[in-house]
Amino acid sequence: MSESEQTQTQNPDPKTPEPKVRAVGLAEYSWCRAVPGGTGITVLSLLLTNVPDISFLEALLCRLQVSHPILRSRVRFDASCNTFYFVTPSNPHVQIQSFDLQSTSHILQSSLGDSHIDSHHVLLEHELNRNSWNRTDGDQADWDVFFASLYTISDARWFLVFRLHTSACDRAAAVGLLRELLEMVGGGRAKAEEEIEQEVGIEDLIPSGKANKPLWARGVDLLGYSLNSFKLANLNFIDANSARHSQVVRLKMNPDDTDRLVAGCKSRGIKLCGALAAAGMIAARSTKPFPDHQKEKYAVVTLIDCRSILEPVLSSNHFGKILPFCNPEYT
């Protein structure tokens, strides 16, 4: 075999660009560590009443992957250096996993039981608990960050779900993804152009001085972290070994109730996030038939979108830059 033939065998398509590889940032690393345990899975869903064209939808999703390269990336873990990487191929790749009416009915029957929850709510929770990243550290395979599924609920309703690794797409970016997808469906974007996204961790976009704290402030923070962790350090789990699963509780308020809530918070000097955190803890407590004197410990963590304070400022449709500010509330 000649030298040219050997080269062609090793690289069958020399015109195909090599995938881009970068190490994840600190915040992204935290999500990569958390996702295998079930925390850090973003799910976006659409309830459809027209017969979906899967080929058309896949073409739109490929265009989104062209516009946002992070959506076509894969997560790679290198056990030798305990580091995660984003591996971004040059070409988009997405395939919608389709569930027919029988398969969808089987999922609903096994999950619903005797409850009267909406079918799309059950399927949303089902997707939240489909962990495609629950691999062992010894597995060197690359993991996609973007999955799409289509469920047939009835002859007139379909449920389209996107499941994403939160290091690539958080809630704010998911809203941007949905907006862009709807624009494409309506013909608002004739051509997908690859956007130049910052190939650095979000920590490098924090303005100079914002991350620096004086010694006294750091000491106060350290004491606060210690006290907060101590509050939840001695939780008694009746069953700590069985499998865990995520559930979603919805609260929908009409405009009048929302206005009254905001006005009540303003008149009492209460922050809206504090009132919502208190409502969440009261709701969690009310789901268990405990006597009034029995106490439980709960924690509510607020995630704040910080894109507007970065340098340069990132828009909501800039994917792959996740830096939540965690504000825990305890009771």
Domain extents in the chain: 20-201
Q: 110 to each of 105, 107, 114, 123, 228, how far by Cα in Å?
A: 9, 5, 10, 11, 38
Residue 8 tokens read as 């062609």
User: What is the reported pLDDT for 240?
Assistant: 66
CATH superfamily to which 20-201 belongs:
Chloramphenicol acetyltransferase-like domain (3.30.559.10)
| Per-residue confidence (pLDDT) for residue 257, from 0 to 100 | 93
Q: How many CB atoms lie within 10 A of CB 130?
A: 14
- The three-state secondary structure class of 300 is strand
Strand (E) or helix (H) holding 77: strand 74-78
Which positions of the chain have pLDDT values less than 50? 1-12, 137, 190, 323-331
The answer to whether residues 302 and 326 touch, using CB atoms and an 8 Å cutoff, is: yes
For residues 164 and 169, what is the distance between their CA atoms, to the nearest angstrom?
6
Question: Cα–Cα distance between 311 and 313 in angstroms, integer?
Answer: 5
The predicted pLDDT at position 153 comes to 94
Rounded Cα distance, 151 and 123, in Å: 8
Give residue 200's pLDDT: 62
Question: Quick one: pLDDT at residue 175?
Answer: 82
- pLDDT score for 299: 73
User: Is 0.85 surpassed by the pTM of this model?
Assistant: no
Over residues 88-132, the pLDDT tens digits come to 998 998 999 999 999 999 999 887 655 678 888 899 999 999 998
Residue with tokens 């650095």: 200
